Amino acid sequence: MSNVTLEKITNLCKRRGFIFQSSEVYGGYNGFWDYGPNGVAMRRALEQAWWNYMVEMRDNVEGQDSTIICNPKVWEASGHVAQFADIMVDNKENNKRYRIDNLMDKQSDEVLAALATALGTDADISKMEAAFETKLKAGEDISNVLGDCAVVCPTSEKPGKWTPPRQFNLMMQTYVGPVFDEDHKAYLRAETCQPIFTNFSAIQTVMRQKLPFGIAQTGKAFRNEINPRNFIFRSREFTQMEMEFFCHDDEAMDWYTYWRDERLNFYYDVLKIDKSKLKTHDHDKLAHYAKAAMDIEFEFPFGWGELEGIHHRGTWDLSQHSEHSGQKLTYFDQDRKEHYTPTVVETSVGLDRLMLALLCSFYDEDEASTQKEGKEKDIRTVLRFPAVIAPVQVAVLPLSKKLAEQAQPLYRKLLKNFRSDYDDKGQIGRRYRRQDEIGTPLCVTFDFDSLEDNAVTVRERDSMTQERVSIDKLQSYIFEKINS
Ligand code: ATP
């Protein structure tokens, strides 16, 4: 039984060197997280699994890696400078700040009904959020609406003294060059996809790609989130893995369905996430240029949350960049004898959010058979990761330090083919537990008999069964086990 909570995951991540607060010696920094040795090994493996599935295994998807800071005109054209904003309010009584949708999420049905009436819409959070946005843009006075509807502060649990709702732009800013003024202002990218749009024609030409084809990128994105929360679910610096697929508008909805299915298959078949933990959710409100959009949601310990977005983006991005740059971002389709701006279908997932989903998915506690005297139950914590993402795939555990002369060369050999670890410190039982907690699928125990029979004991993480395997056949044995 898993009994997973966010607290257990956070503690395990700290205890076992996966993830901890950035700048922890200074008390941390809200919305920023560092990855330790096991976390970075897993994160790289996960990114590589995505890259392999989305780019390396396909002829019709190319890769790129753009800069984090690009010409600020990119973000003016994309609409981020003017519109990439959340609506926020503060409770003046306790200085707590909320995003309006998160605040509404915590209200009773009565308060929501009062708000809906005041805003002239249904008591549906996304519709009310849209109403706030429209009214703010139109300059309507909605400064007292939260107070009038007795909206409750989730922290003090009583009606708050609310500031007027206001738009808050999420773009992180910096300056480029020696002068810190408006003309030298630049932005850290808020998503990785915009530089894909600006590079579309260059990549299509140099790679001699015909439509339909895609361009993929992984990398850091930055958002000045109002309320970073839920561990690495919502941070201010995170990594995205995005793919933009360019096609003719007539085919776009078929590609949209195709990519939804491909992405779900990645979660089911490659990452082995249980189907009951994932669902799709169509967006109620679509951007004016889009024909469809959906989220793939995962059931986190705090509820269902967006893991990935699948978006039909129309010709919006290429048209905007073309208009602002004065460059043609169109395509001549020789088969159709037609010149057009391609329609885009996007898949976009956060690497850190996916890490959290995997940690929650595979966290488990079971009753170990090794009960100690005086203890009623001996609970084993185990991450049942598939080998493709396990930070360590095989651990070599010599029974005694005296066996290093023979066990070390074996470990060095395994390192060439598998993410491997060597641990000769402490009792063997404790060493197994440590490996279970970081999700190592196989442990290889080298004992004194190994010197005689040239064999080792291989212990499986999930079943805890042990098998004696000849050292000559060990590599192929491990290969088969972790790929089955
Ligand atoms: P949300 O509604 O949760 O803020 P979003 O709809 O703004 O997300 P997108 O802009 O579609 O998200 O970004 C694509 C993906 O990037 C998301 O599905 C998520 O996995 C990831 N992501 C977005 N914002 C963050 C963040 N602040 N921290 C971690 N991951 C994020």
At residue 433, what is the residue type? R
Instruction: With a cut of 80, say whether residue 326 has pLDDT above it.
Output: yes
414, 394 Cβ separation under 8 angstroms:
yes
pTM of the model: 0.91
Distance in Å, CA 121 to ligand 1 centroid: 26
289, 345 Cβ separation under 8 angstroms:
no
Q: Which backbone phi and psi does 390 adopt, to 5 degrees?
A: -65, 130
Angle at which helices 351-362 and 37-51 cross, to 10°: 110
Instruction: Give the pLDDT confidence of 204-259 residue by residue, as tens digits.
Output: 999 999 999 999 999 999 999 988 999 999 999 999 999 999 999 999 999 999 99
State the first-to-last Cα distance of the chain, in angstroms, to the nearest integer.
Answer: 24
Ligand 1, residues 306, 310, 317, 347: which to mutate, most atoms within 8 A of Cβ? Answer: 306
112, 123 Cβ separation under 8 angstroms:
yes
Report how far residue 230's alpha carbon sits from residue 42's, in angstroms, rounded to the nearest whole number: 20
Q: How confident is the model at residue 287 (pLDDT cuts 50, 70, 90)?
A: confident
For residue 230, count CB atoms less than 10 angstroms from its CB and return exposed for 0-12, middle for 13-18, buried for 19 or more: middle
Report how far residue 143's alpha carbon sits from residue 316's, in angstroms, rounded to the nearest whole number: 33
Distance in Å, CA 325 to ligand 1 centroid: 27
Structure tokens at 410: 């074996």
Q: What is the pLDDT of residue 352?
A: 98
For residue 323, count CB atoms less than 10 angstroms from its CB and return exposed for 0-12, middle for 13-18, buried for 19 or more: exposed
User: Hey, whose CA ends up nearest to atom 24 of ligand 1?
Assistant: 234
Closest Cα partner for 203 from 348, 53, 315, 66? 66
Mean pLDDT of 416-444: 96
Q: What is the pLDDT of residue 426?
A: 92
153, 96 Cβ separation under 8 angstroms:
yes
Q: CB under 8 Å to 282, separation ≥6 — which residues?
A: 292, 293, 294
Q: Write b or e for each residue in 345-371: b if 16 or more Cβ atoms lie within 10 A of its Cβ, otherwise e.
A: bbbbbbbbbbbbbbbbbbbbebebeee
Distance in Å, CA 101 to ligand 1 centroid: 15
Structure tokens at 437: 């907690």
User: Hey, whose CA ends up nearest to atom 28 of ligand 1?
Assistant: 234
Q: CB under 8 Å to 141, separation ≥6 — which residues?
A: none
Q: How confident is the model at residue 2 (pLDDT cuts 50, 70, 90)?
A: low
Q: Which atom of ligand 1 is nearest to the CA of 240?
A: 16
β-partners of residue 251 are: none
Q: How confident is the model at residue 376 (pLDDT cuts 50, 70, 90)?
A: low
Q: What is the CB neighbour count within 10 angstroms for residue 175?
A: 13
Residue with tokens 């015909």: 210
Distance in Å, CA 233 to ligand 1 centroid: 9
Q: How confident is the model at residue 375 (pLDDT cuts 50, 70, 90)?
A: low
Structure tokens at 353: 């959010």
Q: What is the pLDDT of residue 45?
A: 98
Decide: helix, strand or coil at residue 210: coil
The number of residues in the chain equals 484
> Alpha helices, DSSP H only, in 199-293?
200-206, 252-265
Q: What is the pLDDT of residue 88?
A: 92
Instruction: Give the pLDDT confidence of 86-130 residue by residue, as tens digits.
Output: 899 999 999 999 999 989 999 999 999 999 999 999 888 888 988
Mean pLDDT of 445-461: 96
Rg of the chain taking only CA atoms, in angstroms: 26
β-partners of residue 85 are: 169
Instruction: With a cut of 90, say whether residue 265 has pLDDT above it.
Output: yes
User: Hey, whose CA ends up nearest to atom 8 of ligand 1?
Assistant: 306
Q: How confident is the model at residue 434 (pLDDT cuts 50, 70, 90)?
A: very high
At residue 321, what is the residue type? H
User: Hey, whose CA ends up nearest to atom 26 of ligand 1?
Assistant: 234
Mean pLDDT of 444-449: 96
User: Hey, whose CA ends up nearest to atom 18 of ligand 1?
Assistant: 308
DSSP 8-state assignment for residue 170: -
Please confirm whether the linkage preceding 212 is cis (ω < 30° from 0): yes
Q: How confident is the model at residue 370 (pLDDT cuts 50, 70, 90)?
A: low
At residue 302, what is the residue type? F
Distance in Å, CA 368 to ligand 1 centroid: 38
User: Hey, whose CA ends up nearest to atom 11 of ligand 1?
Assistant: 309
Distance in Å, CA 301 to ligand 1 centroid: 18
| Pairing assessment for the beta strands 293-300 and 338-340 based on DSSP bridges | unpaired
Distance in Å, CA 350 to ligand 1 centroid: 6
Angle at which helices 109-119 and 125-137 cross, to 10°: 30
**Pocket residues: Cβ below 6 A from ligand 1:** 191, 223, 225, 234-235, 238, 240, 306-309, 348-350, 352-353
Report how far residue 54's alpha carbon sits from residue 217's, in angstroms, rounded to the nearest whole number: 10
Distance in Å, CA 237 to ligand 1 centroid: 11
Report how far residue 471's alpha carbon sits from residue 462's, in angstroms, rounded to the nearest whole number: 22
For residue 82, count CB atoms less than 10 angstroms from its CB and return exposed for 0-12, middle for 13-18, buried for 19 or more: exposed
| pLDDT > 70 in the chain, percent | 98
482, 418 Cβ separation under 8 angstroms:
yes
Instruction: With a cut of 70, say whether residue 73 has pLDDT above it.
Output: yes
Q: What is the pLDDT of residue 369?
A: 64
Structural domains in the chain, sorted by start: 6-74+172-360 (3.30.930.10), 85-169 (3.30.40), 392-483 (3.40.50.800)
